[in-house]
Amino acid sequence: MPTDHHVLGPAVVEAIDIHHHYGDGAQRVDVLFDINLQIREGELLIVTGPSGSGKTTLLTILGTMRRPSQGVLRLLGADVTNMQGAGLDALRNRIRFLFQKRNLLSSLTALQNVIAGVSTTPLSDPAWNEPRARHLLGMLGLGDKADAWPDELSGGQQQRVAIARVMIGLPDLIIADEPTSALDRVAGRLVVDQLKDLAMRAKCAVVLSTHDERIFDVASRRLHIEDGRCFEVPIHYH
């Protein structure tokens, strides 16, 4: 699947000369250097790199969970580098995360977990939240699991419930941290296909970190990070 930049929408995230370090003085450890990055609507960016290369730090910065030490971060056109308070909260509401595991609230059913993804957004409508959540679960093949507890679901099913929760909030940016690492090949493939489809149809940007080479082909672009520096790697489509 070739990258086709000209059909992609406007930039969702722009990182300009991002530099990040932990600690100060003798304890200072630099983890990211000169990151320049633009991710557009409909794009699925895969971030690869060895452990400790700075992948997670980059994801948390892009997700506005961490403030970069230097540089500028723009989200949906707004400079969020030094943004605080309610303005930042409102923008954060347009980002959704998908983690490797521990995605679901164990005390809520699959359906309630999905509804939890929309309750804080302006899209929330008590009359429609439940039918919408049921529709999404059905679409992801979990129609009969709506009332199941997370511990009654397989790892792949749990990830699909988490995707439904991401989808219901119609986010502009999805950050997925190794979402397939705990899944088998088939379940993993299903999850990334759904993310790719979501990026294209819902016109959102997806940033996905992974070590799993088998899923590189879903990416619009692949970014490799090593020792805090990133570079784009061509993707070989099978």
Partner 1 sequence: MALTLPEFPLPALRRWRPGLLLSRLMSAAKTAASMPLGAQQLRRQRTSTLLSLAGVTSSLLVIFAQLGIERAVYDSGVRLHRSVIADLLLVPAGFKSLQLHAEVPVAMTDIVSADPGVEGTSPLWFGVMSMSHAGMPTPRRLAWYAIDVERPAIDVPGLRENLYKLRVVRRILFDRDSRPYFGDLAEVAGRGEEVPVLGPPDNRLLLREMFVVGTVAIGPNVVNDGAVVISEGTMSEVFGSWWTDRPAFIGITLAPGADLLKTRESLNRAVAGRGEVITRQEFEARERAYWSRETPVGYITDVSFIMGLMIGMVFIYYAQYQIIRFYLPEYAILKSLGYDWWFFLCMIGQIGAAIITPAFLVGFALARLVYGVAEAALHLGMSMGMREMVVSLVASLIMTVVSSLFALRRLWKVDPIMLFE
Query: Residue 231: how many CB atoms within 10 A of its CB?
Result: 9
Told to check if 79 binds partner 1 by CB under 8 A, we report no
Q: 64 or 81, CB closer to partner 1?
A: 64
Applying CB under 8 A, among 44, 104, 183, 225 the residue interacting with partner 1 is 104
Q: What residues between 207 and 226 interact with partner 1 by CB under 8 A?
A: none
Helices and strands (H and E) in the chain: how many: 6, 10
Told to check if 112 binds partner 1 by CB under 8 A, we report yes
Told to check if 145 binds partner 1 by CB under 8 A, we report no
**Which span sits near partner 1 by CB under 8 A: 16-24, 69-77, 189-197, 224-232?**
189-197
Q: Characterize the bridge pairing of strands 11-22 and 29-40.
A: antiparallel
Distances (CA, A) of 136 to 96, 113, 131, 166, 198: 16, 12, 9, 10, 12
DSSP state letter for 140: T
Residues near 34 by beta carbon (within 8 Å), at least 6 away in sequence = 17, 18, 19, 229
Q: List the strands of the sheet with 44-48, edge to edge.
A: 95-98, 173-177, 205-209, 44-48, 221-226, 229-233
Applying CB under 8 A, among 13, 37, 97, 210 the residue interacting with partner 1 is 97
Q: What residues between 7 and 46 interact with partner 1 by CB under 8 A?
A: none
Residues that bind partner 1 (CB under 8 A): 56, 59-60, 65-66, 86-87, 89-90, 92-93, 96-97, 99, 102-108, 112, 115-117, 119-123, 125-126, 128, 131-132, 135-136, 139, 165, 167, 169-170, 177, 190, 193-194, 197-198, 201-202
